[in-house]
Amino acid sequence: MSEGGVIPASTRALDQDERAPVMPDDSHGPSHGSGTALTRREIRAAASLAGVFAMRLLGLFMIYPVFDAYARHLEGATPVMIGLALGAYGLTQGLLQIPFGLLSDRIGRKTVITAGLVLFGIGSIVAALSTSITGVLAGRILQGMGAIGSVVLAMVADFTRDEVRTKAMAIVGMTIGLSFLIAIGIGPVLDGLVGVPGIFWLTAALALVGIGITHSLPSARPGFAPHRDAEPVPALFARVLGDRELQRLDVAVFALHAILTAGFLAVPAVIAQSLHLAGDRDWQVYLPVLLASVVLMVPVIIVAEKGNRLKEIFLVCIAVIGASQLALAAGGGRAAIAVAALVAFFTGFNVMEAMLPSLVTRIAPAGAKGTATGVFSTSQFLGIFFGGAVGGWASAYAGATGVFEATIAISLVWLLVAAAMRRPGRYTSYVARLGPATTQAPAELAVDLRGLPGVVDVLVAPDEGVAYLKIDRARFDPGAVARVVGG
């Protein structure tokens, strides 16, 4: 997540009771926060909704390292069907998450989140009870129909002020990353204890926990203006979809998750061949590999951010991911090569997972961050489906080697697309509240704001009572903005 703009009192965002439901009262802080620190209520809301995300993501990712071996014994299983079943949730998730987000503006966040988690839980139960690959495929499709990601992010926005929203989103982002690491590590352990059907049953239980967390929060009223920095706005789709730099990032997340998903159709076999481990002991590889990748990721991110080397690190990570796939294809039968390749892959993967959302928010036009993020997330989920489908097809024709050849091809295409990317500017977001005395037409106000030092792009949203700015912080003068907007 990228840093949000720090908004002084003169241009503070709308008061919480104008923009979001008030959290239940407690004795540990004021009912409305001031400044740029999260209040206890905002922290509690962000942490609770991050927990809803975690319940769902744990269930989705725990089966990744163990699904291929399990599915081979199901009735009607073929490599193609196994790949489709692994990635199927990405298709329905990708197609439905933006419509569900827009629907929640009309009928309420809780209603949509609850319905989505019910679908997710039903899909998990269908997969748990199925003895055929077709039944598991149907369950995975239902799981994906519980596409609540954009709704949860919108609900986080409902409970937070504009000037601290990025911090709240960072809590959610860290939870997503941690959930992935935990899920991949404990999936094989749970497989040894309760089997894959047991993991699906646990996933259904996690959906119930998510519903409970959701209903522990107060309801948001339907029909409020959308938060353009946190949820998609249909009027902005054309602008976002036509942006070449955002297109490159959409391709990046599509390719990254396609490679990840396809890889799990081959990596378990490589681990078994090179390290002679049973499936329920794969955690002995995944856990140290993931921990090592996190340790290696930190200095890479520091170099990228502090040294302004985002483009260089971006391209190097693609090359590292591609090289890891080549190493697995050529020498995966040897333990040292297999482990080194997995460390390299997950290091590149984790760096990309940290960098890509930040790049989207930096590059997105002013006021279109939510729309750009929605398209980006859709690309991610469609990449998951593509990876499962292509990986299954490649496995059917050439086994694990064929899967890695497919992921190498994806890496090469990705590298070609990324090579022409522009060096990202050091831009951040800033939200200015329109003063009650502001009488200018939105278009005229936008022109005046664009002429101020450090203002790169502007979108005036009179329905929200704010102006969204993309700024160069080094040259930005918040006082000048306050004078223009009448704050």
Q: Model confidence over 179-213: pLDDT tens digits?
A: 888 998 899 999 989 999 999 999 999 999 999 99
| CA dist., res. 235 & res. 136, Å (int) | 38
Do residues 163 and 431 lie in contact, with contact meaning Cβ atoms separated by under 8 Å? Answer: yes
Do residues 282 and 408 lie in contact, with contact meaning Cβ atoms separated by under 8 Å? Answer: no
Give pLDDT, residue 156: 83
Q: What is the pLDDT of residues 237-256, one digit of tens each?
A: 898 999 999 999 999 999 99
Give pLDDT, residue 128: 96
Question: Which of 172 and 130 is assigned the larger pLDDT?
Answer: 130
Given a cut of 80, whether residue 436 has pLDDT beyond it is no
pTM: 0.86
Give pLDDT, residue 194: 93
Q: What is the pLDDT of residues 86-101, one digit of tens each?
A: 999 999 999 998 999 8
Neighbours of 72 (CB within 10 A): 12
Give pLDDT, residue 272: 85
Q: What percent of the chain has pLDDT over 90?
A: 43
Give pLDDT, residue 316: 95
Given a cut of 50, whether residue 415 has pLDDT beyond it is yes
Give pLDDT, residue 157: 80
Give pLDDT, residue 209: 93
Question: Which of 406 and 366 is assigned the larger pLDDT?
Answer: 406
- Burial category of 161 from C-beta neighbours within 10 Å (exposed 0-12, middle 13-18, buried 19 and up): buried
Q: What percent of the chain has pLDDT over 70?
A: 89
Quick one: average pLDDT of 247-272?
Answer: 94
Given a cut of 70, whether residue 24 has pLDDT beyond it is no
Do residues 141 and 88 lie in contact, with contact meaning Cβ atoms separated by under 8 Å? Answer: yes
Quick one: average pLDDT of 376-382?
Answer: 93
| CA dist., res. 286 & res. 294, Å (int) | 12
Give pLDDT, residue 487: 57
- Burial category of 18 from C-beta neighbours within 10 Å (exposed 0-12, middle 13-18, buried 19 and up): exposed
- Burial category of 209 from C-beta neighbours within 10 Å (exposed 0-12, middle 13-18, buried 19 and up): middle
- As a whole number, the mean pLDDT across the chain is 84
User: How would residue 80 be classed by pLDDT, with cut points 50, 70 and 90?
Assistant: very high
**What's at 323, amino acid-wise?**
A
CA angle at residue 180 from 86 to 290, to 5 degrees? 110
Quick one: average pLDDT of 28-52?
Answer: 69
| CA dist., res. 403 & res. 411, Å (int) | 12
